[in-house]
Amino acid sequence: MENFEELFIQESLEMLEELEASLMELEENPEDENLIAKVFRIMHTLKGSSAMFGFDAISEFTHKIEDVYDRLRSGKMRLTSHLIDLSLAACDQIKLMLSDKSLGISDVRIAKILDDFQLLAEGKRKLLPTENESKPYISLTKKQSKKSDLSSERIYRIRFKPNQDITRRGVNVSFIIQELTDLGTSTVVAHTFDIPNLEEINPELIYVSWDIIITTNKTEEAIRDVFIFVEEDSVIDISIIDEVDMDDDSEFECKRIGQILIERGDIEPEELNRLFKDRKLIGQVMVERGLAHPDMVESAFAEQEHIRKTNQKKRQVAAKASIRVSAEKLDRLVDLVGELVTLQSKLTQFAISKGSDDLLRIAEEVERLAWDMRDNTMGLRMVPIGTLFSKFKRLVRELSSDIGKKVVLEMSGEDTELDKNVIELLNDPLVHIIRNSIDHGIEPPGERKARGKSEYGTISLSAKYSGADVIISISDDGKGIDIEKIRKKAEEKGLLTRGQDYTDKEILDCIFSPGFSTSENVSKISGRGVGMDVVKRNIESLRGNIEIDTQIGKGTTIILRLPLTLAIIDGLLIKTGDSTFVIPLPYILECVQVSTHDLSIFSADVIDIRGEAIPFIRLRDRFSIHGRTPDVEMMVVVEENGKKLGIIVDSVIGEHQTVIKNLGGAYEKIPDISGVTILGNGDIALILDVSALMSVDVLKTKGGV
């Protein structure tokens, strides 16, 4: 039972995330009936499942919220920002109730929210906008991607009764029926109760009418177009039975036969209530008493079966679409694939050493399968970054409202995929950046209007692929960063030397220093000098880098470049003495052959490469590697954030795709090393931390280029 309860909590938290995202969209589109229905369905699901697992307080709490959204979807009230605020507060309380089962509806905060929803449900507090009601400060816009056809289908009921003499105009009714069935999955029932006796039949007349139940992604207008030549002299009734949202886990209701017949107008509700006293099947009783023709009952049964099959299809699509696997199992699978790749390398080397063609062919086949498995396993860890972006809607909404600013959040590239571990570790840095953009970047509405700008500021989140990396940009159209102000503050703190020339980039990099802030006052959002140093440290821990681009009066863009995955990197295998190292390939500019004479031209550890002075370090000296230094060495030139560094090694072996492994707790703080990998021959190669090497004293004293 504990396992089931744990699964319920996890699924409930996921539903709450979806609920928050839906509420944010609903605030943008308050008339969207589908979104209102989606919020209602989530609350309904939470109510039922929480009662099942003993979370009775949540069940009672969500029941009141469900009542309000039921009134909303029935048109008895309209949406305002107050209801969104109340609903978001309810989400927070449900999360607390999931983590602490002892919390009940008697809790002060929960009771206050419950009272407000109770008043709304009873209609004692209206949610109609008034003249004095201000618009919410937040207006979120999101570039929507097209949904799949399956996620936007509807079930239509079409009742078609053509004029009896329609064939005399050359109309072939069978073609109309065929064209309808081509629009989607359909069920067709013909009504024959108007057919007269054989001696009274006129072969030129049509006595049959039809009920067509169809599941399609086409609009009602597209369905009516089928009847364009017969609508004037035919009875045509098109109604929507239900929406089919394949992205929604909840099932829509399969209506009872009596309910379907009432909706169609084939029987009155009073007659149906009288029939409930009989214990026979409702359809059988109606036919026996002459209240409904057998064709009508048959058509109702067909509609019920059509809905049931659509529901079954929805469950099958959902089952195929996803499967829940714990993160621990997925990480273990990645580790096993890494071991398999290492073992495959050993097999290949063994096959080469034996000189056996048959063994080599087997090794090549194993290599192909191993790399295919590796690529597919890595793909399992890839998650669309939109799952992270969507969380910031509420952050922007609440922060901008708290400090009286108007902010629009725009997002693009939500389908860009990143390793799930990267996305998890990326949340905090993005929160810091967005908070700073709202507090420092976006001006108050009055100030923006005075500068000729829209009173609504814009924060843009975007993601795109760039080779083996993903570039994430966070932009605002605010006042920009005053570089001269940053310079003065940096000089006061001793980060920059007075009177010395620095590039804009070097000055802006001071923002990432611990304790650095230009705010005169400390607010609850920022001003303490804590945040951007943590951002840089977290991004570098992800083997990424960060850049700032700003223009006074126009805004600021912060660019994050991150690897697609933390599990595998492309690297350059190098050797110094008996030790083997890996340098991540994205940092490498070039490899240059150098001699002892080349390195001794300058008195300092700087070398001239095509007229450019580049500082360098010897890996042999850095790691105290003993042995004879070769007469001709190799220098690997790496670059990060515009700074270059030469790494002197004995030899370059070649490119190597590296499965990264952690060093373990005892060795995780070793400087200049970010990880380790196992080579095909079983040897261990250390992965160099280029960012750490860039911070060595030689760069500070020689001022890398």
648 falls in which pLDDT band (50, 70, 90)? very high
Using the predicted structure, report yes or no on whether residue 576 has a pLDDT greater than 80: yes
pLDDT value at position 559? Answer: 92
pLDDT value at position 314? Answer: 62
Rounded mean pLDDT of 678-693? 80
Using the predicted structure, report yes or no on whether residue 637 has a pLDDT greater than 70: yes
Rounded mean pLDDT of 302-308? 74
* Buried residues in 406-429 as b, exposed as e (16+ CB within 10 A): bbbbebbbbebbbbbbbbebbeeb
Fold (topology level) of 149-321: Alpha-Beta Plaits (3.30.70)
556 falls in which pLDDT band (50, 70, 90)? very high
Using the predicted structure, report yes or no on whether residue 126 has a pLDDT greater than 50: no
Question: pLDDT tens digit string along 443-470?
Answer: 999 999 998 899 999 999 999 887 667 8
Look up residue 576 and give its two tokens.
């110094």
Beta carbons within 8 Å of 272's beta carbon, 6+ residues apart: 258, 261, 262, 282
Using the predicted structure, report yes or no on whether residue 321 has a pLDDT greater than 70: no
Rounded mean pLDDT of 111-131? 64
CATH, range 568-702: 2.40.50.180
- The model carries a pTM of 0.59
Residue 575 contacts residue 664 (beta carbons within 8 Å): no
Rounded mean pLDDT of 371-375? 81
pLDDT value at position 190? Answer: 87
Length of the chain measured in residues: 705
Question: pLDDT tens digit string along 468-509?
Answer: 678 899 999 999 998 989 988 888 888 888 888 888 888 888
574 falls in which pLDDT band (50, 70, 90)? very high
Using the predicted structure, report yes or no on whether residue 142 has a pLDDT greater than 50: no
Beta carbons within 8 Å of 554's beta carbon, 6+ residues apart: 477, 480
Average pLDDT over all residues of the chain: 78
Among the listed residues 20, 25, 27, 66, the single catalytic one is 66
pLDDT value at position 32? Answer: 81
Using the predicted structure, report yes or no on whether residue 278 has a pLDDT greater than 60: no
Rounded mean pLDDT of 272-285? 52
Catalytic (active site) residue 436: yes
pLDDT value at position 341? Answer: 76
pLDDT value at position 609? Answer: 83
Rounded mean pLDDT of 187-194? 84
Among the listed residues 27, 191, 414, 436, the single catalytic one is 436
Rounded mean pLDDT of 365-373? 85
Question: pLDDT tens digit string along 403-446?
Answer: 888 888 898 888 888 888 888 888 889 999 998 899 888 999 99
Label the pairing between strands 579-584 and 456-466. Answer: unpaired
Using the predicted structure, report yes or no on whether residue 665 has a pLDDT greater than 70: no
Rounded mean pLDDT of 53-79? 82
Listed by start position, the domains of the chain span 2-121, 149-321, 327-381, 384-563, 568-702
* More confident: 213 or 289: 213
Among the listed residues 11, 28, 44, 293, the single catalytic one is 44
Query: Mean pLDDT: which of 177-191, 360-374, 546-560, 658-672 is highest?
Result: 546-560
Using the predicted structure, report yes or no on whether residue 385 has a pLDDT greater than 80: yes
Catalytic (active site) residue 66: yes
* Share of residues in the chain with pLDDT > 90 (%): 8
pLDDT value at position 567? Answer: 66
pLDDT value at position 514? Answer: 80
Rounded mean pLDDT of 89-116? 83
Q: Which CATH class is domain 384-563?
A: alpha beta
Look up residue 267 and give its two tokens.
């029987």
Catalytic (active site) residue 597: no
Q: Describe the crossing of helices 420-436 and 392-402 by its angle, rounded to 10 degrees.
A: 10
Tell me how far apart the alpha carbons of residues 543 and 468 are, in angstroms, rounded to a whole number.
Answer: 12
Fold (topology level) of 327-381: Helix Hairpins (1.10.287)
Convert 516-571 into a string of H (helix), E (strand) and C (coil).
CCCCCCCCCCCCCCCCHHHHHHHHHHCCCEEEEEEECCCEEEEEEEEECCCCEEEE
pLDDT value at position 146? Answer: 35
Distances (CA, A) of 291 to 267, 297, 498, 663: 7, 10, 97, 80
* More confident: 541 or 150: 541
pLDDT value at position 518? Answer: 66
Convert 258-316 into a string of H (helix), E (strand) and C (coil).
HHHHHHHCCCCHHHHHHHCCCCCCHHHHHHHCCCCCHHHHHHHHHHHHHHHHHHHHHHH
pLDDT value at position 529? Answer: 42
* More confident: 549 or 148: 549
Rounded mean pLDDT of 252-267? 59
CB atoms within 10 A of CB 184: 17
Tell me how far apart the alpha carbons of residues 671 and 693 are, in angstroms, rounded to a whole number.
Answer: 9
Q: What is the dihedral of CA 243, 247, 250, 251, to 10 degrees?
A: 50
CATH, range 2-121: 1.20.120.160
* Share of residues in the chain with pLDDT > 70 (%): 78
